[in-house]
Amino acid sequence: MGLGTKDEAWNVEGMCMHRRDGHCVYVNDILLELLGMSKVNFFKAAEEGNAWREAVHEDDFETFNQTWTAAIETGKPMGAEFRVKPALLPNEVRWLEVSAQQRRDQDGNLEYLYVWLRDISSRKQLAEQKLADALETKRRSEIFIDMVSHEMRNPLGAILLLADGILSSLPSVSDPTQSSILTADARSSLVDVAANIQLCARHQKVIIDEVLTFSRLDSKLLILAPEKIRPTETVQSVLKMVKAELDYDKIQGSMALQPSYTDLAVDNVLLDPGRLAQIILNFMTRASRTQPSADDCQVTLIKPRGERVETAARRLSITEDPIGEDVYLIFSVRDTGCGLTETEMGHLFHRFSQASPKTYKQYGGSGLGLFISRELVELQGGQIGVHSEYGKGSTFAFYIKTARVEKPIEPPTAELAQTSISDHMRVVDGPAAQKMQTADLHVLVVEDNAINQKILAQQLRKTGCAKVHVADHGQDALELLSTTTFFKYVGIGQVPLSVILLDVEMPIMDGLTCSRRIRELEQKQEIVRHVPIIGITANARVEQIAACIEAGMDEVVTKPFRVMDLLPRMLALVDKHASVV
C-alpha cells in the first residue's frame, strides 16, 4: 500500500507491535514507507535492538530513546515528534509524530507495545515557513524604521545646530558694546526667528518620535530597558526640556511631591527612564498646547486626592518582578486649560485620534501621543486615565509598576540615550565641581555628512574648545588618532586629543568598526590610555544603542541634539578618564 501525497498521509498511520524485549512481531507497509526501510531490514534491526536507531535522525535519537524507554518502563502513553532519514531516500528528512500504548497481561506485566506513526512534515514545513515569513517581516520593518529614523533625524539635527549657531552669532540687543549694522529691532527679530526655528524643529522631532514609536509598537519591536533611576530626576529633566516652550507661551511648569512619596522613601527604583520621560512629555506637550498664557502646569508624583480619574482600562498582563519590593508609582499632570467634555474624553487614548477636529486645527499634532502613552504605561504594568472639567482644566494620571532599589545609584556613564525618544529628553547637567573646562577640550568629530560635520565643528569651536579636528570616516579617524598623545610610539609633535565624537553610519569604515579597533589597540597597549568615545547616531532602537556600547563606545547620543546639552557629557567623560595630556 502506498502513502500517496504527504497531505494524504494525515489520514493514514504506520503501525507496529513490539514485545518488551524490543522484538517486533508486526509492522505495516505504511510504517516501513515512512521510515524508508524494507521489511527485512526492519525486522533484522529489531532483532539486534536497533529497529529505530537506523531511521531516527541522530540529533533526535536521544530524546526519542528516552521517550521509548519511559513508555515501556512506566506505562505512560508515548507521544513525541522526531525526524527520520529514510534509508531509501538519503536526501530527504521527514518529520513524524509517534504515539504508543501498552497492553498488559492479567498480572500487570507488559505484553505488547503498540506504536503508531504519522507524517507531519507538511505541518512542520508550514510552521517553519510562517516563522521565516514573520522574521522576514520583522527584518523589513526594522530596516524601514531605521531608514526613516536616519533620514529624518539627520537633517533635523542640522536644523537645530544651525538655529543655535544663529543665536550664538547675533550680538546681544541689550549690549551697547556690540556694534552692528543691524538695528536693535532687526537683531531682536532674528533672535525671535531663530528661537521659532528651534521650537518648530523640536516639535517636528516629537512628531517623528511618535510615528517611529508607533511603528515599533505596531511591529512588536518595542522593548523596555529598565535601569536604576530616581523618578524625580526624570521628571525634572522633562521640565527642563520643555522649559523653553513653556517660557515662550508664558506658562509656569512645576513638580510637586505628595507626602506618601517621601513617607515611603521611594527614592531609587528600577524603571525605563526614557519611556517614563516620554509619557510625561506627551502629557506636558498636550497641556501646554491647551493652556492659556501665564497659567500653571504641574507634574505630581501621586494621584491627587478628591479627584476621580477615569482610566482607559484594558486587560493587563503583569509579570511579577523578583528584584526588590514592588512599588506602584502614580504620576499626574494637571493643567488649568480649557478642559474636556465627556464626548471629547471618549476619543482620547486611541491611535490617530484627538479630542475633536478643532484640536488638530488649533493645536496640530499627530494624534498618537496619548495612544502611545497608554501603550507604554500598560507595557509597564499600569493604567492611564483622565479627569477633566470643561472650562476648568484637566488632570492626566497614570500608574506604573516598578521595584524599589535600595542600592545607591551610580552616576551613569553609558546611559544608552536609552530609547528612540529619551536622549532628547535628558538634559544633562555637568558635575558640580568639574575639573575639565571647555577651553581644554581637543575634539575629533568623525562624520561623513559634510553639512553635519561642518555645523557641529563650528558649534564646538564657538563654545571655546581648544581644537576641533574632523574626519570623514573611521579609517581617517584611526590615522589621525595615531598622531595623538594616545599612541605609544609617536614622537615629538604629538597632537593633543580629549574625546572622539563618532558617527555610527559611515562609508569605508563605520563607527562600530572604528570603536572596536580602538579598543583592540588599547588591549595591545599600542594606545596607552582609554580613549573617550561618544557615539552619535540617527538610529535609536535600544538594541542599536546597546550595539554601540558593546563595540566600546562610552556613551551614545541620538540625533538631533544640541551642543549645549552634549558639552557637559563630553566634559564629564573626559574628566572621568583624565585623557588630556
Please write the tens of the pLDDT for every residue from 209-218. Answer: 767 676 667 6
Q: Give the domain 228-408 fold.
A: Heat Shock Protein 90 (3.30.565)
pLDDT tens for each residue of 230-258: 888 888 888 877 777 777 777 788 888 88
pLDDT tens for each residue of 87-112: 656 677 888 888 888 888 888 787 88
**First CA to last CA across the chain, in angstroms?**
86
pLDDT for position 500: 97
| Strand-pair category, 383-389 with 310-311 | antiparallel
% of the chain beyond a pLDDT of 90: 15
Decide if pLDDT at 49 tops 60: yes
Rounded mean pLDDT, 1-6? 37
pLDDT tens for each residue of 107-157: 878 788 888 888 888 888 898 898 888 888 877 777 776 676 666 776 777
**Residue 341 — pLDDT band, cuts 50, 70, 90?**
confident
As a whole number of angstroms, the distance between CA 373 and CA 370 comes to 5
Cis ω for the linkage preceding 560 (within 30 of 0): yes
Phi, psi (5° rounding) for residue 573? Answer: -70, -45
**Residue 425 — pLDDT band, cuts 50, 70, 90?**
very low
* CA within 13 Å, CB half, 175: 8
Decide if pLDDT at 471 tops 70: yes
CA 30 to chain centre: 52
pLDDT for position 578: 72
**Residue 307 — pLDDT band, cuts 50, 70, 90?**
very low
Domains 8-119 and 228-408 share a fold: no
Q: Is the pTM of this model over 0.85?
A: no
| Strand-pair category, 14-18 with 78-84 | unpaired
The residue type at 555: E
The C-alpha cell at 5 is 501525497
Rounded mean pLDDT, 451-469? 90
Phi, psi (5° rounding) for residue 78? Answer: -95, 135
Phi, psi (5° rounding) for residue 19? Answer: -80, 170
Q: Which CATH superfamily is 8-119 part of?
A: PAS domain (3.30.450.20)
Compare 44 and 196 and report the one with higher pLDDT.
44
Q: Which CATH class is domain 424-577?
A: alpha beta
Q: Long-range CB contacts (< 8 A, 24+ apart) of 294-297?
A: 294/250, 294/251, 294/252, 295/251, 295/252, 295/335, 295/336, 295/337, 296/251, 296/252, 296/254, 296/334, 296/335, 296/336, 297/246, 297/251, 297/252, 297/253, 297/254, 297/333, 297/334, 297/335, 297/336
HEC profile for 274-292?
Answer: HHHHHHHHHHHHHHHHCCC
Weakest mean pLDDT among 29-33, 164-168, 194-198, 311-315: 311-315
Q: How do the domains of the chain map onto residue ranges?
A: 8-119, 228-408, 424-577
Show the beta-strand stretches assigned E in 19-62.
Answer: 24-27
CA 293 to chain centre: 36
Rounded mean pLDDT, 56-70? 80
As a whole number of angstroms, the distance between CA 400 and CA 330 comes to 7
